[in-house]
Structure 1
Amino acid sequence: MSRRPVVILTALDLEYQAIRESLVDPRLHRHDQGTRFELGRLAGGSCRIALAHVGKGTHPAAVLAERAIAEFAPAALLFVGVAGALHEHIALGDVVVATHVYGFHGGTGEDDGLKARPRVWETSHAADQIARHIHRTGSWAQRPGAPAMLPDVHFGPIAAGEVVLNSRVSGLARWIREHYNDALAIEMEGAGVAQAGHLNRALPVVVIRGVSDRADGTKESTDRQRWQQRAVANAALFATALAEEISAEDDGAGRPAAKSTKGAAVREYVQSVHNENSGSGPVGVQAHTVHGGVVHVTGGARPPVDLPTALAEIRARFQAARAAGAVDEDTYAAADAELAVAEEALEDGTPQSHSRLQLALKKFKGLVGDVSDLAAKVTIVLALARSLP
């Protein structure tokens, strides 16, 4: 079973194009209701992306986020675009990753004025942790097209509503300062996609914004200076790095029956193995139980299957899939590199190399996920690799 894709949505054409430039061989996917998605793999990685343009505003963002979730059952949904900064320490071009999304267009009118009724959606803990790790390690600098000097990344709340704010003294600006004064940036779509994720079994939703103006009356000037293009390029760079990491850690747990697949695959493999000793007598597999993908071995610590032989079988099947046209050349090259890493890691035989082996197999599986029989065999070997000391 292949990894689930990551959905990325944008509001503006320039935002869409910034993500699209990171995709290898994007292909059109038409929804029954007319929405057009493009599907592709991230350059230099194995993450599959479903990309769509939703237009401006909370409502279209919510509707098309719901549509994308239903269509692709993704591992996560990212909304990528530009925003206005609400604090002086945030520079033009910086990236803001939402820890919360405030829906600020809610309240009740009383005789003594308007009272706020805030709506808040919190970013999932796991996605937030991955994003912070990417920032701390600077690993997004390794993405194709990364600048020599990365912009600052800020983690905090983002305010989302149906208004483009371009003033620090307007009634709306005062309202936001009074009720949402910890918001780092303001935009128009985050509340819609956050609600869609919440209503779909709390699907991880991350809003990533590049700062293109200061929401202070200078928007026309900063737009003329092409800060939108620079800001969204930075946001897209961080978003694609985040998508790649989310995909690498995705085990498809949100899918029905996914939890039992690994153990069943191992049982199938263990039951089919037949080894022979140096003489003519058969040697039975020395395994008596399999639990959740972990093989418990009797008679020694060695795994019950010869992993080098299993990897050799995967390579043979992989080459056969290429010859049959089931794997395109770009995918073959990327997957072949991961398989080579796995073979080298297994040969090293150290505990550190075993972690490398598992990661390489996960990436390989993500790349060949459309070849179901090959992906199933990789699942088997991956489960067995986890039993290595």
Structure 2
Amino acid sequence: MSKDLVVVLTALNLEYEAVRRNLAGPRLHRHRRGTRFEVGTVPGTSCRVALALTNKGNHPAAVLAERAIQEFSPVAVLFVGVAGALWESTGLGDVVMATHVYAYHGGTSEDDGLKARPRAWEAPHGISQLGAHLARAGDWAGGPPGDKSATRVHFGAIAAGEVVQNSRISAEAEWIRQHYNDALAIEMEAAGVAQAGHLNGAPVAVIRGISDRADGTKSSAEDRNWQPRAAANAAAFAVRLAAELIGEQEQIAMNEYYRTGRTDKLREQVSNTARSSQVGIMARTVTGSNVHFNGRPQASGPTDLAAELDGFREHLDRAGAVGALDEDTCQAARAELDIAGRAARKKASGSRKEATMALKRLRGLVADHDELAAMLEPLITAAGGLS
């Protein structure tokens, strides 16, 4: 699993751009079958997002979701975009996070009518709990200019089918409201993504901004006004959710690290790195966020860390030169290394967090290169001890 990456999928370019505006430094990642992803970072965090466009419909959404899961092994898959509301209680511009997803086109046609045979997928408990917490906190940022405080987040079922619903009085509209009367919103991709996640063991969350009421007003002036606003609201909530998911993963890993007493393993790793290379921090012990040099406890100062970062750059450049890392990754890694280096030389109060976050993002970029990733662990620990 990529412990710092979340996949975000959208069906429309409008939705794609809404998510992309919330990311820093997106760079192209080509799948061998031609699918294009952009991988960017949520500003101020170590969370990476792999963003892709599926186009409309459950079938293409399922295929692209499975492809993304196989390519990135993400912490979670989020499907983000707009939807139609089925009930007046859900306002235009509001966000709906699915507690479960219905594939409502399952059924059997009998003499006395069409009988529903739905399939349903329930949202993972942990993601649902985190989404509810963010909604209560109300501090998720982003979206279009205007009164953000009026945007509400709803939790409930989402119905996903294969046709655009744009009527309140058609036979199908009445059938949906009769058989799926707890669904808050209706759209065309969630069932495919939920199925792909289920088959591949990947958590899936569906987040939709309400752009219309599925009542005949699609393509109207009102719909054209609400679509970008709804997409922006859904994107802002989803990106914040992605960042919180990665933050939780880091906290879980840290708790496990200290619970199992793996500090001794870190000491051994740092000591081995120091013996085999002039680049690693020449540390004897690590206690909390302090690095002790030459057996004498002392905090790693700005000059020490900055020098170690300069040494790490040589190894990074060497990995790029021999083709162990592609050029796009090397450029992104050097940019994060520059940020960490500048922060390490500062004495400002926020330098510790700035350096640590940059190095965590750097670790995500070189995660597939075991040697570089191992070298970064003591550097991240040292950055946390900056005063």
Q: TM-score with structure 1 length normalisation?
A: 0.75
Tell me the equivalent position of 2:31.
Answer: 31
How far off is 1:266 after superposition? 2.1
User: Cα distance 1:204–1:368, how it changes in 2: closer, same or farther (>3 A)?
Assistant: same
Q: Give matches, 1:106-145, under 5 Å.
A: 106-141=106-141, 143=142
Percent of aligned positions that are identical: 51
Q: Give matches, 1:1-389, under 5 Å.
A: 3-141=3-141, 143=142, 148-150=147-149, 151-201=151-201, 203-222=202-221, 225-251=224-250, 265-266=265-266, 268-269=268-269, 306=297, 308-309=299-300, 314-322=305-313, 328=333, 330-332=335-337, 335=340, 361=356, 364-371=359-366, 373=371, 375-377=373-375, 379=377
How far off is 1:223 after superposition? 5.3
How far off is 1:177 after superposition? 1.4
User: Cα distance 1:246–1:286, how it changes in 2: closer, same or farther (>3 A)?
Assistant: closer
How far off is 1:343 after superposition? 10
User: Cα distance 1:41–1:194, how it changes in 2: closer, same or farther (>3 A)?
Assistant: same
Give the Cα separation in 1 of the matches to 2:36 and 2:310: 34
Between 1:39-48 and 1:64-73, the stretch displaced more is: 39-48
Give the Cα separation in 1 of the matches to 2:166 and 2:72: 36
Tell me the equivalent position of 1:278.
Answer: none
Q: Which amino acid aligns with 2:118?
A: P
Q: Which amino acid aligns with 1:174?
A: E
How far off is 1:320 after superposition? 3.5
How far off is 1:234 after superposition? 1.0
Q: Where does structure 2 lack aligned partners over 5 or more consecutive residues?
A: 275-283, 289-294, 318-329
Give the Cα separation in 1 of the matches to 2:347 and 2:168: 55
Does structure 1 conserve the Cα–Cα contact (< 8 Å) formed by 2:2 and 2:75? no
Instruction: Describe the superposition over 1:129-184 as per-residue Cα deviations: whole angstroms up to 9, x where unpaired.
Output: 2222222222312x587755241111111111111111112222222212211111
Give the Cα separation in 2 of the matches to 1:333 and 1:133: 35
How far off is 1:337 after superposition? 8.4
Give the Cα separation in 1 of the matches to 2:335 and 2:214: 43
Does structure 1 conserve the Cα–Cα contact (< 8 Å) formed by 2:144 and 2:229? no
Give the Cα separation in 2 of the matches to 1:311 and 1:138: 37
Task: Please provide the CA RMSD for this pair.
Answer: 4.0
Give the Cα separation in 1 of the matches to 2:261 and 2:210: 43
SS state at 2:148 partner: coil
Give the Cα separation in 2 of the matches to 1:173 and 1:309: 65
Instruction: Describe the superposition over 1:26-78 as per-residue Cα deviations: whole angstroms up to 9, x where unpaired.
Output: 22222121211112223343321111111100000000100111111111111
Does structure 1 conserve the Cα–Cα contact (< 8 Å) formed by 2:9 and 2:51? yes
Q: TM-score with structure 2 length normalisation?
A: 0.75
Between 1:308-317 and 1:125-134, the stretch displaced more is: 308-317
User: Cα distance 1:37–1:171, how it changes in 2: closer, same or farther (>3 A)?
Assistant: same
How far off is 1:187 after superposition? 0.4
Does structure 1 conserve the Cα–Cα contact (< 8 Å) formed by 2:84 and 2:186? yes
Q: Where does structure 1 lack aligned partners over 5 or more consecutive residues?
A: 275-283, 288-293, 295-303, 347-355
Give the Cα separation in 1 of the matches to 2:374 and 2:261: 9
How far off is 1:227 after superposition? 1.2
Q: Which amino acid aligns with 1:331?
A: E
Give the Cα separation in 2 of the matches to 1:272 and 1:310: 22
Give the Cα separation in 2 of the matches to 1:115 and 1:320: 68
